[in-house]
């Protein structure tokens, strides 16, 4: 593998890299740096999270920046504040031996006046989140007419978070002759659409297989019932005393609930979700990065762009709605050549979700057994012994007390002393797991989800044919409700229609908000519906209504005119409501 200098970088930059501990370039750096240095062609690069993308695009830009000009020459967009700050910090470190290079990072949650003052002093490189960048452009404080490079970092995540319109606005005000560099961990159709609309014959660089999991990450699943999901999570934490990981939940409510339970049960855990202020979020992340927390409980959106290394585990308390999100979740561990484990807790009804994920990541999930009490106690016992072996003894401090200690323990022999010492901390695990039940398997009947009581289910007459996906649907809901903090539950995107769940407190507002609504010129219909009951007799489902009384080939409650179900009390008895009101 070549050294950084052989890639075409100057001595000033390579010296900075050496001081920072960079020894050899990663695959994406080895491919991208010479390409960006030697050509003005646009670049469309795939690289998994944690493979050194920041250096891959920023080093060749730094090499070519005109420090004598005060114009902004590069704009780098990233999905989250944390990632933007990290990129800005990295670029400042890379350029420490270069004179007069100014880097400004702009993002929401911080004083826009301070950022404007920084821009007025002159910024060769601006790193920003899409929302704040657009805001500064509209205020005419960020001028991009002299831009030479546009970087879209984590493009897939920006689109998943609903920043497409912001990206469009930024790209439209940049000059035609710029070089656009698009870096992404996965390439859904939306990312390809951005590339098609705003890039000219881009050179494609692949540093690994697209849309697959990291090589060093193993994927495991545990089959459990809904009621045993949380106890299973605790056992996985207990059987891995050195665990340092993220537990992903689907909703903010679930995130808060699981974090609160873990804290009450004595675990070093905290939550990261959309209801936290930026100051609260910073405190949580500071504790997690310092490893004062072992478990961070988070939603997908809240965890976007986190730059945390050395994670041992990612635990999917609930699988994500979108397959791509699993790739992002699991990519948080197994970075920089280290091994990691991605775990999924699933029930019987969720087993079908594993197959599309396996196809996406190119790997197979291995079923594991939730550990029993004996296994956990054994792990904890030897963790305690390991702590004793590694503890640093301060002779100067402890020697004055040894005579009294020896006198107190003189009647206890060596073996008994060890047993008693170990039992001080070990007994709590023995008592807690004594007679612990087997948590493996989901032998319960199909139950209504525990969240049903908190959510109202809706039908919408848009589906895959309308290019609807969960991210677009969430954006549509937030747009019409004019709120972005409403709890959204399960989402089902079908061919020509879809279902979604909303915090029941907003049920009436949802119906009102979508009156006269349109989507791509089409009238939108949103109505309250109910979850269909599971039929026990599969033969009835297979043969349909032709086997029922009368034998006319139609179900008793359907009409040949195309109606899809009779209304009862404002709700539909069938899972596919009609947009046409029946005459009474």
More confident residue, 448 or 423: 423
Mean pLDDT of the chain: 82
What is the average pLDDT across 565-583? 35
Q: Are residues 386 and 511 in the same domain?
A: no
Give the total number of structural domains in the chain.
Answer: 4
More confident residue, 514 or 337: 514
Q: Strands across the sheet with 103-106, in order?
A: 103-106, 125-128, 74-77, 149-152, 179-184, 43-46, 203-206
What is the average pLDDT across 358-369? 91
Q: Give dist(CA 238, CA 241) in Å, integer.
A: 6
Task: With cut-offs at 50, 70 and 90, classify the pLDDT of residue 444.
Answer: low
Q: Are residues 172 and 299 in the same domain?
A: no
Position 442 in a domain: no
Position 577 in a domain: no
Position 581 in a domain: no
Cα torsion angle, 470, 471, 475, 481, sign? positive
315: CB partners within 8 A, 6+ apart: 233, 236, 245, 246, 247, 248, 342, 343, 345
Q: Please determine, for residue 565, whether its predicted confidence score (pLDDT) is greater than 50.
A: no
Report which of 140, 61, 70 is spatially closest to residue 102, judged by C-alpha positions. Answer: 70
Q: Give dist(CA 293, CA 296) in Å, integer.
A: 7
Position 583 in a domain: no
Q: Are residues 54 and 202 in the same domain?
A: yes
Report which of 580, 567, 486 is spatially closest to residue 530, judged by C-alpha positions. Answer: 567
Task: With cut-offs at 50, 70 and 90, classify the pLDDT of residue 316.
Answer: very high
Position 580 in a domain: no
Give the largest Cα separation in the chain, rounded: 97
Q: Give dist(CA 58, CA 60) in Å, integer.
A: 6
Whether 58 and 91 have beta carbons less than 8 Å apart is answered as yes
Q: Which residues of 230-261 are buried (b: 16+ CB within 10 A; e: fewer)?
A: bebbbbbbbbbeebbbbbbbbbbbbbbbbbee
Q: Give dist(CA 149, CA 40) in Å, integer.
A: 9
Q: Are residues 391 and 489 in the same domain?
A: no
Q: Give dist(CA 385, CA 392) in Å, integer.
A: 14
* CATH code of residue 528: 3.30.70.330
Residue keyed to tokens 């197994």 = 334
Task: With cut-offs at 50, 70 and 90, classify the pLDDT of residue 581.
Answer: very low
Q: Are residues 15 and 148 in the same domain?
A: yes
Task: With cut-offs at 50, 70 and 90, classify the pLDDT of residue 480.
Answer: confident
More confident residue, 144 or 386: 144
Q: Are residues 101 and 229 in the same domain?
A: no
Predicted confidence (pLDDT) per residue in 112-128, tens digit: 999 999 999 999 999 99
452: CB partners within 8 A, 6+ apart: 531
Q: Are residues 59 and 188 in the same domain?
A: yes
Phi, psi of 398 (to 5 degrees): -95, -25
Position 446 in a domain: no
Predicted confidence (pLDDT) per residue in 126-145, tens digit: 999 999 999 999 999 999 99
Predicted confidence (pLDDT) per residue in 91-116, tens digit: 999 999 998 899 999 998 788 999 99
Q: Are residues 389 and 343 in the same domain?
A: no
Residue keyed to tokens 């730094």 = 62
Q: Please determine, for residue 294, whether its predicted confidence score (pLDDT) is greater than 90.
A: yes
Q: Which two tokens stand for residue 185?
A: 């961990």
More confident residue, 542 or 174: 174
Whether 198 and 182 have beta carbons less than 8 Å apart is answered as no
The last residue of a domain, from among 174, 206, 238: 206
3-class SS string, 222-291: EEECHHHHHHHHHHHHHHCCCCCEEEECCCHHHHHHHHHHHHHCCCCEEEECCCCCHHHHHHHHHHHHCC
Cross-strand pairs, 103? 125
The last residue of a domain, from among 348, 373, 398: 373
Predicted confidence (pLDDT) per residue in 19-77, tens digit: 988 888 888 999 999 999 999 999 999 877 667 889 999 999 999 999 989 899 999 99
Q: Give dist(CA 295, CA 233) in Å, integer.
A: 11
Q: Are residues 21 and 157 in the same domain?
A: yes
* CATH code of residue 226: 3.40.50.300
Cross-strand pairs, 379? none
Q: Are residues 272 and 347 in the same domain?
A: yes
Position 322 in a domain: yes
Q: Give dist(CA 368, CA 376) in Å, integer.
A: 15
Tell me the whole-structure pTM to 2 decimals: 0.58
Q: Are residues 61 and 197 in the same domain?
A: yes
Secondary structure element (H or E) that encloses residue 126, with its range = strand 125-128
Position 118 in a domain: yes
Determine how β-strand 149-152 pairs with β-strand 179-184.
Answer: parallel
Q: Are residues 23 and 167 in the same domain?
A: yes
Structure confidence at residue 574 (pLDDT)? 35
Q: Which domain holds residue 397?
A: 379-433
């Amino acid at each position: 593998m070549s050294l950084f200098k052989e890639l075409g970088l100057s001595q000033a930059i390579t010296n900075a890299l050496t001081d920072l501990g960079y020894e050899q370039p990663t695959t994406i750096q080895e491919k991208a740096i010479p390409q960006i240095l030697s050509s003005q062609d646009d670049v469309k690069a795939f690289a998994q999270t944690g493979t050194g993308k920041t250096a891959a695009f920023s080093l060749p830009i730094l090499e070519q920046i005109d420090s004598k000009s005060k114009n902004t020459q590069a704009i780098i967009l990233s999905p989250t504040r944390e990632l933007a700050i990290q990129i800005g910090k990295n670029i400042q470190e890379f350029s420490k031996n270069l004179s007069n290079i100014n880097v400004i990072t702009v993002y929401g949650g911080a004083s826009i006046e301070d950022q404007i003052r920084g821009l007025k002093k002159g910024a060769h490189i601006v790193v920003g989140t899409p929302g704040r960048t657009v805001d500064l452009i509209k205020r005419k404080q960020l001028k991009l007419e002299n831009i030479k490079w546009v970087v879209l970092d984590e493009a897939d995540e920006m689109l998943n978070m609903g920043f497409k319109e912001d990206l469009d606005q930024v790209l439209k005000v940049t000059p035609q002759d710029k070089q656009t560099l698009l870096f992404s961990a996965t390439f859904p159709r939306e990312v390809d659409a951005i590339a098609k609309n705003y890039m000219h014959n881009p050179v494609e660089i692949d540093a690994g297989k697209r849309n697959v999991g990291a090589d060093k990450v193993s994927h495991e699943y545990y089959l459990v019932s809904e009621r045993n999901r949380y106890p299973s999570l605790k056992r996985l934490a207990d059987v891995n005393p050195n665990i340092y990981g993220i537990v992903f939940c689907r909703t903010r409510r679930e995130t808060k609930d699981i974090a609160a339970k873990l804290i009450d049960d004595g675990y070093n855990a905290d939550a990261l979700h959309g209801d936290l202020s930026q100051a609260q979020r910073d405190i949580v992340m500071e504790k997690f990065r310092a490893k004062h927390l072992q478990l961070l409980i988070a939603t997908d959106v809240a965890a976007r762009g986190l730059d945390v290394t050395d994670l041992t585990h990612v635990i999917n308390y609930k699988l994500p709605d979108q397959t791509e999100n699993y790739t992002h979740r699991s990519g948080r561990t197994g970075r920089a050549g280290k091994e990691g484990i991605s775990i999924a807790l699933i029930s019987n009804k969720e087993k079908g979700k594993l197959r599309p994920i396996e196809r996406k990541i190119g790997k197979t999930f291995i079923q594991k057994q939730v550990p029993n009490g004996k296994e956990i106690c054994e792990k904890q016992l030897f963790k305690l012994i390991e702590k004793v072996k590694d503890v640093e003894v301060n002779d100067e401090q402890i020697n004055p007390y040894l005579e009294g200690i020896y006198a107190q323990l003189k009647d206890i022999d060596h073996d008994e002393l060890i047993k008693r010492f170990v039992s001080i901390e070990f007994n709590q695990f023995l008592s807690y797991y004594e007679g612990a039940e087997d948590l493996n398997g989901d032998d319960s009947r199909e139950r209504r989800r525990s969240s049903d009581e908190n959510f109202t289910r809706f039908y919408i007459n848009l589906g895959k044919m309308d290019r609807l996906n969960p991210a677009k649907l969430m954006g549509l809901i937030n747009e019409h409700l004019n709120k972005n903090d409403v709890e959204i539950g399960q989402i089902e995107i079908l061919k020509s229609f879809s279902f979604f769940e909303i915090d029941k407190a907003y049920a009436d507002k949802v119906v009102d908000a979508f009156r006269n609504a349109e989507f791509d010129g089409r009238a939108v219909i949103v109505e309250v519906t109910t979850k269909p009951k599971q039929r026990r007799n599969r033969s009835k489902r297979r043969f349909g209504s032709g086997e029922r009384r009368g034998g006319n080939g139609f179900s008793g409650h359907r009409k040949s005119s195309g109606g899809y179900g009779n209304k009862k009390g404002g709700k539909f008895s069938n899972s596919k409501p009609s947009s046409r009101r029946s005459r009474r």
